């Protein structure tokens, strides 16, 4: 049966007990073999822990660590802005195509009749839009649009991977 707690034995090893309590622990250790074994095991651990020296770090360790952590949180924000930039570029390309088609339709001459109804006008504009889109997305027009989009995607991919490489380099240093 253990008469002394591990806490008391640790305090005994650290020299944090009163002289009366030290005498009491000494007496119990002399009488109790299980308590003596626990004390020897704790003493062995205590001595080994006492011999371990602290690792020394540079004075600016905390500053550099916090700086790296802050960069990690900046990375997703920069990626979000990059994705918004690429998306905006693609939307501008699409708006340019639609604007070109609308400008082409509006520049075609309209028959001058006195009683043009709204439905006929809408039908004429719709047919013109479809015709222009068919022209734009067939043959050479499709090749040009595909080339522009492919070129934009290649540039976007290159920029994205370069930024990833830069961020990885910064976080690694």
Give which of 71, 88, 86, 58 is closest to 167, Cα–Cα: 71
Residue 73 token pair: 């949180």
Residue 9's Cβ-count burial label (10 Å; 0-12, 13-18, 19+) is: buried
Three-state secondary structure string covering 38-74: HHHHHHHHHHHHHHCCCCCCCCCHHHHHHHHHHHHHH
Residue 96 token pair: 């340019």
Q: Where are the domains of the chain?
A: 6-51, 61-172
- Give me the pLDDT at residue 117, please: 72
Long-range contacts of the stretch 131-137 (C-beta < 8 A, 24+): 132/101, 132/104, 132/105, 133/101, 136/97, 136/100, 136/101
Residue with tokens 């095991």: 41
User: Higher model confidence: residue 67 or residue 108?
Assistant: 67
Residue 39's Cβ-count burial label (10 Å; 0-12, 13-18, 19+) is: buried
pLDDT in tens, 17-58: 888 998 888 888 888 888 888 888 888 888 888 788 877 777
- Give me the pLDDT at residue 78, please: 67
Residue 135 parent element (H or E):
helix 118-136
Q: Max alpha carbon distance in the chain (Å)? A: 123
Answer yes or no: pTM beyond 0.85: no
């Amino acid at each position: 049966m253990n008469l002394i707690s591990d806490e008391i034995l640790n305090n005994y090893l650290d020299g944090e007990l009163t002289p009366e309590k030290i005498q009491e622990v000494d007496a119990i250790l002399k009488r109790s073999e299980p308590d003596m074994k626990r004390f020897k095991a704790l003493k062995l651990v205590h001595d080994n822990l006492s011999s371990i020296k602290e690792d020394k770090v540079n004075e600016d360790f905390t500053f550099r660590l916090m700086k790296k952590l802050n960069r990690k949180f900046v990375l997703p924000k920069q990626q979000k802005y990059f994705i918004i930039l690429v998306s905006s570029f693609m939307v501008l390309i699409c708006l340019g195509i639609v604007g070109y088609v609308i400008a082409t339709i509006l520049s075609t001459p309209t028959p001058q009749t006195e009683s043009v109804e709204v439905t006929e006008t809408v039908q004429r504009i719709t047919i013109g839009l479809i015709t222009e889109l068919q022209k734009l997305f067939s043959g050479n027009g499709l090749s040009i649009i595909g080339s522009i989009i492919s070129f934009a995607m290649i540039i976007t991919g290159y920029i994205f991977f370069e930024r990833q490489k830069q961020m990885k380099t910064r976080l690694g240093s």
